[in-house]
Amino acid sequence: MLLAVDIGNTTVALAGLRGDVPAFVIRLPSDCGRDAAAWTNTLRQRLEGEGVDPREADGAVLSSVVPALTRPVTAALASLTGRTPLVVGRTTPTGLDLGGYDAFHLGMDRVVDCVAALARYGGPVAVFDMGTATTLSAADKNGVFLGGMILPGLALSLEALSAKAAQLPPITLTPPEGLMGTDTVSCMKHGALYGAAGAIEGIVRRLERTYGPLTVVLTGGNSTLVRPLLEISTAWEPNLTFLGLAEIWRRNQC
């Protein structure tokens, strides 16, 4: 079993992979107040709850977009497994050619997503990862990273509306009923979800005018709400980041 960790702005997700199949996924809040010892204890307890002895893992691989969490979680994985985890960074051989992209501030989650999508579907691909932010990452048929976009995530957009507009309340997203809202809450929900779907459709149309037909892959927690509203063909891979981490780990084994 391979332990794969995706550190995001909202959650730290740990998967136990047998091949490319997650045996389990553990999600914890991205708490920067925990030190390495606290992460070690928490992860040990959660792994024990899954019946997993981390000392028997084949290894561990990690990607992070929260620098403050990278070191303590990496130290926790090393302590639990007795192995040095592979931390995916700018110098890690991933198989993805970054071309002329300025990679200094490139989130490794976007690289990992593209590696997984290319391995699964070939190129060209466009990956929409709908988490705290909605990121677009695209690669061509030769595995060259083309770039992408970063949009406010659904929750962030709604939080901004509620914070800045006195008569707009905080809401919880659920699947929309019909096309139009009939009260303030449903109007906000429909606007957020159909707005996100319309943005993806419009971006894909423009991408295909420039790069030709491509495979569109959706991932991230909010993709489950938006994908049914899309009028374009997409692949849905809820475990895309874990698949990419496993692919990169395999490529870096001696």
Q: What residues are annotated to the active site?
A: 109
- Block residue for tokens 């002329």: 100
The residue type found at 70 is: T
Length of the chain: 254
Which pairing describes strands 133-139 and 86-87: parallel, antiparallel, or unpaired?
Answer: unpaired
Give the chain's radius of gyration (CA, Å).
Answer: 19
Helices (H) and strands (E) in the chain, counts: 7, 10
- Block residue for tokens 């999600």: 27
* Residue 56 DSSP code: G
The first and second tokens of residue 39, run together, are 């992460």
Sheet with 11-18, edge to edge strand ranges: 21-29, 11-18, 2-7, 59-64, 86-87
8-11: long-range contacts, CB 8 A cutoff, minimum separation 24? 8/65, 8/66, 8/109, 8/131, 8/132, 9/65, 9/66, 9/131, 9/132, 9/133, 10/131, 10/132
Tell me if residue 25 falls in helix, strand or coil.
Answer: strand
